[in-house]
Amino acid sequence: MCLAVPGRVLDIGERDGTRVATVDFGGVVKEVCLEYLPDLKVGEYAIVHVGFALQRLDEESARHTLELFAELGMLQEEFGDPWEAAAGTGGAHGGEEAHR
Amino acid sequence: MKYLDEFQDPELARRLLDEIRATVTRPWALMEVCGGQTHSIIRHGIDQLLPEQVELIHGPGCPVCVTPLEVIDKALEIASRPEVIFCSFGDMLRVPGTGRDLFQVRGEGGDVRVVYSPLDALRIAQRHPEREVVFFGIGFETTAPPNAMTVHQARKLGIRNFSLLVSHVRVPPAIEAIMRSPSCRVQAFLAAGHVCTVMGVGEYPELAERHRVPIVVTGFEPLDILEGVRRTVTQLERGEHTVDNAYPRAVRAEGNPAALAMLEDVFEVTDRSWRGIGVIPGSGWRLSRRYRDYDAELRFAVDGIRTEEPAECRSGEVLQGLLKPHACEMFGTRCTPRTPLGATMVSSEGACAAYYLYRRLQTTPAPREASPVA
Ligand code: SF4
């Protein structure tokens, strides 16, 4: 849960009056709130925690970190199916909210 | 040295280790206060690669672990109500309350949902105006701003069927409590990088000065940790005690000003109980007066629930660095990630679970299910 994952901004839009971005985390794409980093631009990298961009990151260290996370299975931990992980078995549970 | 090959840059890791070895002349005890760091240290065997004189004590850096049993019981009570959709981060599912956990509440018909972001919970509230949507707001300074923004949005959009069960904690008062403890062995701190991404480093110089401890802001990737340890040991050997930033790529001195302003608006500092440690003055946040309507404890009248921690779990000692996880009698026998007695065994960021997942492998061939994240 404490994990903050670097991601690259694909595009920027608006939702309910707040700035949001579509962000790519090494293949997983999520909507991210930009209210705490309003001047972030398309193509830039940022550290994202639970759907909020918190700080800019340079491209090299972002890629480096993403590679490491992917290698260690940490992206799976962050974006995978938590019901499956909690059940310790796999398959049987829904978890549709987490997949969006 | 088998671990070193697994580092992203083994050559740099070796150089950092050599430098630490050349610097250290006597024993030092360093505490890391970030569950991500603990996980990383054990997973990569960093504590075993370091010279013997450098001891890493695993502090209370996992928010899931330090959430008191009482708060879990409040969550279970609220989640059991038929009108409620209870939303949480995935790692709270298996944290045992008294007798059960959120996973079981869901099995008994409770509408428990896992979300990636607190904003997802707010959207569920928008889609289900007939239901009460509650988000379980736990975490350190890194997670508090997202939760603060979510409550702020709820108010701005006039969404009334949303509330927050808040159990936020702050790192500096925990450092203060650890330094004041008569059994304190800690001589320096690796401060949690992402906490400082939000908060900056402003809260630390006074602490470092008063307790004469070096505080080094450190990331949680293996090389970041080695660099944090290197800078810390250098300070200790020179008799210095300053605040140093070993994680500048993610941490600016001033933190994130927009997030700090939102925290100031939505939350106010309060005393909080830490699982296994007890009440630490000023160590948490609760909703400020303006946002009190969004407090799930009040909305569902669970503020009266009181729970004692079980005596057999020694996670309090583990969290304070007084006991190594495998020295606990229950470790790996009655207490495993599948049958956790204490929260430090539940989250993979907890010291007990980290030891169970990675350290046991060195002595016994582990059954497959023992390392679901490997
Ligand atoms: S091994 Fe289990 S019982 Fe022992 S301190 Fe850790 S969590 Fe508590």
Residue B98: pLDDT band (50, 70, 90) is confident
pLDDT interval class at B210 (50, 70, 90):
very high
Query: What pLDDT does B365 receive?
Result: 42
CB count in 10 Å sphere of residue A66: 21
A89 assigned to some structural domain:
no
Nearest-CB residue to A33 (from B149, B252, B338): B149
Which of B38, B62, B315 most suits a substitution to test ligand 1, by most atoms within 8 Å of the C-beta? B315
Using only C-alpha atoms, what is the Rg of chain A?
Answer: 14
The string of DSSP codes covering B28-76 is EEEEE--HHHHHHHHHTTHHHHS-TTEEEEE-S--HHHHS-HHHHHHHH
When pLDDT is averaged across residues B32-53 and rounded to a whole number, the result is: 92
| Candidate from A23-27, B52-56, B225-229, B337-341 with smallest mean pLDDT | B337-341
The 3-state DSSP class for residue A65 equals helix
pLDDT, tens digit, 9 for 90 and up, residues A22-53: 999 988 899 999 999 999 999 999 999 999 99
First vs last C-alpha separation in chain B = 20
Question: What does the pLDDT look like over B318-371, one tens digit per residue?
Answer: 877 788 899 999 999 999 988 888 878 888 788 999 999 888 766 444 444 444
**Nearest CA among B301, B96, B99, B338 for reference residue A89:** B338
CB contact under 8 A, B114 and A100: no
d(CA B171, CA B140): 7
For B202, residues 6+ apart whose C-beta sits below 8 A from its C-beta are B253, B254, B255
In CATH terms, the fold of domain B4-62+172-245 is Rossmann fold (3.40.50)
Regarding the beta carbon of B275 and ligand 1, being less than 6 Å apart is answered: no
Tell me if chain A has a CB within 8 Å of the CB of B338: yes
Ligand 1 centroid from CA A98, angstroms: 30
Task: Kindly report, residue by residue over A15-29, the tens digit of the pLDDT.
Answer: 999 999 999 998 889
Residues with Cβ within 8 Å of B144's Cβ and at least 6 positions away in sequence, in order, are B137, B168, B198, B263, B267, B285
Tell me the helices (H) and strands (E) count for chain B, helix number first. Answer: 16, 11
- Give how far B115 is from chain A: nearest CA, Å: 5
- Residue A42 resides in a domain: yes
3-class DSSP state of B121: helix
Decide if B198 touches A, using CB distance below 8 A: yes
Which residues are CB-neighbours of B163 under 8 A, at least 6 positions away? B132, B133, B134, B135, B294, B295, B296, B299, B300
> Is the pLDDT reported for residue B158 higher than 90?
yes
Query: Pick from B103, B117, B251: which is nearest to A86 by CB?
Result: B103
Contact indicator for B32, B211 with CB cutoff of 8 Å: no
Q: Sheet with B243-245: list strands edge to edge.
A: B54-58, B28-32, B188-192, B215-218, B243-245
ipTM score: 0.89
Global pTM reads: 0.89
**How many domains are there within chain A?**
1
| Exposure b/e, B21-39, CB count within 10 A at least 16 = b | eeebeeebbbbbbbbbbbb
Q: Point out the residue among B93, B116, B259 whose CB comes nearest to the CB of A50.
A: B116
At B258-292, the pLDDT tens digits run 999 999 999 999 999 998 788 999 999 999 999 99
One-character DSSP codes across B190-240: EEEHHHHHHH-STTHHHHHHHHT--EEEE-SSHHHHHHHHHHHHHHHHHT-
- Distance CA(B325)–CA(B57), nearest Å, equals 11
**B129 vs B6, higher pLDDT:** B129
Per CB-CB distance under 8 Å, the chain A contacts of B89 are 1, 50, 82
pLDDT at res. B224: 93
Give the chain B residue nearest A60 (alpha carbons): B249
Spatial contact of A67 and B351, defined as CB atoms under 8 Å apart: no
For B124, the 3-state DSSP assignment is helix
Tell me the helices (H) and strands (E) count for chain A, helix number first: 4, 5
Looking up residue A10, the CATH number of its domain turns out to be 2.30.30.140
Cα angle value B367/A92/A3 (rounded, 5°) = 70
Query: Cβ of B87 and A97 within 8 Å?
Result: yes
Residue that has been written with the tokens 């790996």 in this structure = B332
The per-residue pLDDT for range B294-330, each reduced to its tens digit, is 999 999 999 889 888 778 889 888 877 788 899 999 9
- Give pLDDT, residue B78: 98
| Domain residue ranges in chain B | 4-62+172-245
| 3-state SS assignment for residue B8 | coil
Q: What is the mean pLDDT of chain A?
A: 80
pLDDT, residue A61, reads: 83
CA distance B14 to B202: 33
**3-class DSSP assignment, residue B340:** coil
Which residues have a Cβ under 8 Å from the Cβ of B348 and sit 6 or more positions away? A77, B39, B91, B354, B357, B373
Domain that holds residue A39: 5-81
Task: Examine residue A10 and state whether it is found in any structural domain, yes or no.
Answer: yes
Lowest mean pLDDT among B53-62, B92-101, B362-371: B362-371
Q: A49 in the Ramachandran plot: left (φ > 0), alpha (ψ -120 to 50) or beta?
A: beta
Interchain CB contact of B80 with A (< 8 Å): no
Residue from B113, B152, B249 to probe the interface with A (highest A Cβ count within 10 Å)? B249
Confidence (pLDDT) at A97? 39
